[in-house]
Structures are given as C-alpha cells and as structure tokens.
Amino acid sequence: MIGNVPRRVVITGIGAITPIGTGVEGFWAGLQARRSVVGPVTRFDPSPFRTRIAAEVPDFHPGDFLPERRSRRLDRFGQFSIAAARLAIEDAGLDLPKEDRDRIGAMMGTALGGVAYAETQYPAYLKEGPRGVDPALALTVFAGAGSCNLAIEFGITGPNSTNGMSCASGTIAIGDGFRAIARGDADVMLAGGAEAPLAPLCYGAFAIIRAMSTRNEDPATASRPFDHGRDGFVMAEGTAVLVLEERSRALARGAPVYAEVLGFGTTNDAHHMTSPRPDGQQAARAMRLALAEARVGPGEVAYVNAHGSSTPLNDSTETLAIRQVFGDHTARLAVSGTKGYYGHALGASGAIEAAVCALASHRRWLPPTVNLASPDPACDLFHVAPEGREADPEYLLSNSFGFGGINASLVFRRADGR
C-alpha cells in the first residue's frame, strides 16, 4: 500500500507447460492453431472406464529444467511446478541472485497435487511392503508441495501458500499473489497452478460420476464448451506460472509487461459438491467483486475467458451469470472457452487461462471456442469466431468455477504504459 492506495501489479513473465505447447511461443502457437489436441489416454490403460480420452502434455522432459538427481525426487506434479516457474522467471528476465528474495514469494493452486503419484505407489506397497515405497511419497502428497518446492528451488523466502480449491485453484493463487503485492507484503510473486492427474484412480473417480465426455471415437471434438452436443469435460494435465510484479519496479528494470492485474473476487455457491447453483448468483457475485476491486464497470469489459468446462450444467449456468453481470452489454462482450483446445487441467486451468488473457491482451488476438459447431440456445453469448478475432481489449475478465461451489474471477487490463 502507498497510504491507502494498493500498489499496482503487472504480469512480467509467463511459464506454460500445456498439451498445446510449452513456453510462451509454443503455447501461443498452439492457440493460433485453433484445434484440439485431445486424444486417447496413453499414460495407463483406460479400458475399464466409459471415458478413455484426455489431453496429455507431450514430450515433457524434466531433465530440461532440473538436475537429474533433483528430478528423481519429485513426482510429475512437482516437476511441472518447478519447470513452469523456471520458464516464467526466464521470460521475466529476473536475475534472482541479485534480488532481495525475502520480497519474492510463491502462491500455487492444485486440485489433486501428488495424489496420482501416491496411487502408483500402492501396488509397490502391496508387493514389497513399506520398503517398496518411494521415501519421497510423504513429500509428494504434502498439500503445500507446489509452492514450497518453488521456494526451495529458487531460494525465495517471501509469502508462500498452496491452495486446493478444486478447479478454481490456479485463479485463486493468482488472486492471492496479486493481493500480496498490492498490500506490500512482497514485490514479486510466482503464482499459478499445476496438475498431473492422469492415473487410473484419479481419472476413474471422475469417470464414475459421469462428469467426463464419452466421445472416445472422436476425441478431438470431445471438449466443446457451450456447444449443444457437449457431454462432459475432458481431463488434462499441465501447468502455468506467472511472474507478478509491482509495476514501478518492473518498469524501472525494463521488464516485459503482458498485462496488469486489477481485481479478484471469489465466492461459494453453498449449494452442492458437483453441481453449480442453478441461479448463477454466486458466480455472478465473484465477477462483480473482481470488477469492483478493479474499479471497472461491466460495460468497459471487452472479453471474457469463460470457465467453459463443456459440462451441460456449468456452461449454461455460467452464461446465466455472465448475463446477470453484464446485462445489455453481453451482446457486445466477446466470449470464448479455451478448454476446447487443451481440455480441463483442473486446478491448473485458471492459471493457464490467465496466461491466455495476458497473451490475448498483449498480442491483440482473441482465441475462439474450439469445437463450437452448434451453439446451445441456453448459452447465447457473443462467441469469438472460429478463426479467432483481432482485437485490442482494454479490460478482460477470466472465470474459474469448481467442485464444492467455488467461484473465482480475475480482471486484467492491457499494458499501455499508464
């Protein structure tokens, strides 16, 4: 705070490891390709389940980001977290040895963390007893491993937390990181989400409750937010970490600035563990809270990156909530749901979609909703055209909604030197 005025916070680095691409340029190229990368599950045998498709990260080699010895002591979730953070730090041009690392912290989000790795250790326990289990297991399932691994890897000793708020986790982590800088608790925050859920029990838990698409014969069309034929989400893995930085110091060191974070809002439906509240009121309130903190009117927002999970209830309820917030402006509000590209990486999705907003703002191009072939009348929004859309949005909003009734929204402004 400067007096009672919150400090301004900008995004100066993006680290993304996703099914459509790695690093800023790889991720952006994946968005520009305007196609889904969902395919058959290859990480395990999915034949017992109704759903047998996913969006996997191809060609991830932890040795590209970590020494071999360190890599062996981490599960895929931990490897993802550190790798994405390293990419973000490099992208931001942060020279950590020269920084006051007491003023740099980490906020991460994840729905399942290291649970998938723990699942792989149970057969070893049954076969060989305790001596067959990886001694690092306790550290991989530790809920705070996401942010604590970043602190250890990069020697950053500022505010540190990992939240487990289902599919809103990454968005909440960025919101918490934004506020830590705004109130003066830190100058730089690594903030984002990571998810590595592709193991039989974790995957099967969602298949059993019929939350996932069963378009097994045509996986590339399975994730289809807002489409009349949507039948469930497609599970994905991946991670995104952003470097958030106090604006004046970022400009002083000549850092690249993708966008400014202006506001954050989060609420709970208090309704059901899996179904959204039918009236959309609390989802709408999360958006209103974020806009209020940003001091932005609904009519000023040009683009919404929707949660758009491709589930029957979520997409129509989100549409209702958007209409409650934006009223008549909804007809002019460009909307896309980018999970059609890369599926739903649970707690990492909000961070990935914050990266989408930052890049869309910086590069003046809005991505489409992939696979939106027949828009559902209950999802009557102004959807970005299939080829994407060149645009120069000043204000953007990103939504994330999760199991347990969690709602979270972020508001961004383009980087224009003001």
Look up residue 172 and give its two tokens: 């909440």
Look up residue 52 and give its two tokens: 């047998």
pLDDT of 22: 98
Please state, for a pLDDT cut of 90, what percent of the chain lies above it. 94
pTM of the model: 0.97
pLDDT of 3: 58
Q: Band of the pLDDT at 195, cuts 50, 70, 90? A: very high
Look up residue 148 and give its two tokens: 């604590």
Q: Band of the pLDDT at 245, cuts 50, 70, 90? A: very high
> Is pLDDT above 90 for 253?
yes
> Is pLDDT above 60 for 269?
yes
Q: Give 3: exposed, middle or buried? Use CB within 10 Å, 0-12, 13-18, 19+.
A: exposed
Give phi and psi for 308, each to the nearest 5: 40, 65
Rg (CA), the chain: 20
pLDDT of 417: 52
Spatial distance between the Cα atoms of 260 and 281, rounded to a whole number of angstroms: 27
According to DSSP, the residues that pair with 265 across neighbouring strands are 409
Structural domains in the chain plus CATH codes: 9-252 (3.40.47.10), 263-414 (3.40.47.10)
The mean pLDDT of 203-218, rounded to a whole number, is 97
pLDDT of 268: 98
The helix (H) or strand (E) run that includes residue 122 is: helix 115-128
Spatial distance between the Cα atoms of 211 and 310, rounded to a whole number of angstroms: 10
The answer to whether the beta carbons of residues 221 and 259 sit under 8 Å apart is: no
The mean pLDDT of 300-322, rounded to a whole number, is 98
> Is pLDDT above 80 for 4?
no
pLDDT of 2: 61
Which of 107, 86, 89 has its CA nearest to residue 191?
A: 107
The mean pLDDT of 249-269, rounded to a whole number, is 97
Q: For the chain, how many residues are written? A: 418
Residues recognised as catalytic? 167, 307, 344
How many other CB atoms sit within 10 Å of the CB of residue 386?
13
Look up residue 214 and give its two tokens: 């069963």
> Is pLDDT above 60 for 77?
yes
pLDDT digits (tens, 9 = 90+) for 363-414: 999 999 999 999 999 999 999 999 999 999 999 999 999 999 999 999 999 9
Q: Does residue 254 come out as left (phi exceeding 0), alpha (psi in the -120 to 50 range) or beta?
A: left
> Is pLDDT above 90 for 174?
yes
Q: Which residues contact 107 (CB under 8 A, 6 or more apart)?
A: 147, 159, 160, 161, 162, 163, 173, 174, 176, 177, 180, 189, 190, 191
> Is pLDDT above 90 for 112?
yes
> Is pLDDT above 90 for 279?
yes
Which of 89, 12, 86 has its CA nearest to residue 255?
A: 12
Spatial distance between the Cα atoms of 217 and 222, rounded to a whole number of angstroms: 9
Average pLDDT taken over every residue of the chain? 96
Spatial distance between the Cα atoms of 204 and 208, rounded to a whole number of angstroms: 6
